[in-house]
Amino acid sequence: MAPNRRDFLKIGGLAGMATLTGQVSATVVPKQPQQALSTTEQKFNMSGYAAPALDKVRIAVIGLGNRGPGAVERLSKIEGVELNALCDLRQERVAHAQGRIRETEHQPESYSGDGDIWKKVCERDDIDLIYIATPWHLHTPMALYAMQQGKHAAVEVPAAITLEECWQLVETSESTKKHCMMLENTCYDFFELLTLNMARQGFFGEIIHGEGAYIHELLESNFSNGRYWDMWRLKQNRRNGSLYPTHGLGPIAQLMNVNRGDLMEYLVSVSSADFMMADKARELAEEDDFYSRFADGSYRGNMNNTTIRTKKGRTILIQHDVTSPRPYSRLHIVSGTKAYAQKYPEPGKISLGHEGFLSESEMKKLEEQFQPPIVQRIGELAKQIGGHGGMDFLMDWRLIDCLRNGIPLDQDVYDAAAWSAVGPLSEQSVANRSASVDIPDFTRGAWQKNTPVDIELSKGGTTAILTA
């Protein structure tokens, strides 16, 4: 008899147990892949849902280590935003973020010093949106509590690290009718937005295949004492799979209408051996006893390749490598029946056949023809404000504009769950000699009628940028 969803989740949830308990032992995974089944019906379809418009979006930012302070500064530049609370375990990080907006009209209250202080932030009556930029294992608990307290949640990537968490996000968003958006900034990079607009207008024909990657040498950073609070990111690298899939997957999933006309059906995943991380841990332990607790046990392989097949027969390849000395790449490939696109190495290029890529002048004409409305409106200002070349600001601005004008978000909770689920599911596949693993249908069948994402700007109003 096939296992029900809860039984399956008890097994799949073990993948994140080491992180949630603060341990650094190797990940426990089931010996045989299971079917990811749902036994519950959808409570409410959050795809295409437009929450009541907010004249002013009152925000609290939780997590002010690496990503949080930049988000605070970017949000302070958007019309209709009121920053009411800043929260981090460390008071000095709150003070740092406060300093970045000292010359603005925002006067958020500070919260720090207690591991549960963030709950008081979520319980405030003058907050509409909780913006979460904490270590990964805190993303889901904080997003859940925010929604339960009547707040929308915007959560950094990945939104969840176990299948149990993915389902919790879905069920809570549906029951509260509060948005849960994963802050996948790559969906707002300029070439990715261009290819999305081109796909919507049929330029590529039928999409056949896509590729995405996160190749970023972080070996020294992951082992740096103090770079990541309590060495949380190094602990995550004890898991062996595609740990950070959403940067490459998000833009491709939107192009392919995943959860909105198509569905990721199953995946297979393979990891290379670890040629660097365990050696680095032992080397550091010989010099500094602090690292002795990281010198035993295994780490993820250098390179992970995860291949996904969709219901309509499309394929997606996602690569992840954060240790090898390779040039940075967030590979973005779109392969269709009429055209092909590729970014990394930059700049992005288009091909119409085997002869090669279009010339620089031909690319310029295409960019002018298919430039998305959001880029036409605020693209240059976004580049000035910054955040990974402007895509961070485009993401934040778009989120606020949707909330202020009652527009459905570009990323909903089903995207957050499905894209994040690739992480724990890839671990299961790797642990079982790359056996195929089913990907849950978090929409419970609604993908067949959900409307594809099209990043249209608000018609009844707009949100201004206060200053660059």
Q: Are residues 157 and 306 in the same domain?
A: no
Whichever domain contains 215, its CATH number is 3.30.360.10
Whether 200 is in a domain gets the answer yes
Whether 242 is in a domain gets the answer yes
Q: Are residues 356 and 237 in the same domain?
A: yes
Q: Are residues 198 and 336 in the same domain?
A: yes
Of 124, 155, 184, which one is at a domain's C-terminal end? 184
Q: Are residues 176 and 224 in the same domain?
A: no
Whichever domain contains 166, its CATH number is 3.40.50.720
pLDDT in tens, the chain (468 residues): 333 444 434 333 333 333 333 333 344 444 433 445 555 799 999 999 999 999 999 999 999 999 999 999 999 999 999 999 999 999 999 999 999 999 999 999 999 999 999 999 999 999 999 999 999 999 999 999 999 999 999 999 999 999 999 999 999 999 999 999 999 999 999 999 999 999 999 999 999 999 999 999 999 999 999 899 999 999 999 999 999 999 999 999 999 999 999 999 999 999 999 999 999 999 999 999 999 999 998 999 999 999 999 999 999 999 999 999 999 999 999 999 999 999 999 999 999 999 999 999 999 999 999 999 999 999 999 999 999 999 999 999 999 999 999 999 999 999 999 999 999 999 999 999 999 999 999 999 999 999 998 887 766 667 888 877
Q: Are residues 356 and 438 in the same domain?
A: yes
Q: Are residues 202 and 88 in the same domain?
A: no
What's the domain range around 118? 57-184
Distance in angstroms (rounded) separating the CA atoms of residues 423 and 246:
9
| pTM of the model as a whole | 0.92
Q: Vertex 230, ends 323 and 170: CA angle to 5°?
A: 80
Whether 15 is in a domain gets the answer no
Q: Are residues 149 and 248 in the same domain?
A: no
Token representation of residue 25: 């032992």
Distance in angstroms (rounded) separating the CA atoms of residues 58 and 130:
9
235 backbone dihedrals φ, ψ, rounded to 5°: -60, -40
Distance in angstroms (rounded) separating the CA atoms of residues 393 and 382:
6
Of 122, 154, 184, which one is at a domain's C-terminal end? 184
Q: Vertex 461, ends 455 and 464: CA angle to 5°?
A: 85
Q: Are residues 242 and 353 in the same domain?
A: yes
Q: Are residues 178 and 304 in the same domain?
A: no
Cβ atoms within 10 A of the Cβ of 13, count?
17
Count of structural domains within the chain: 2
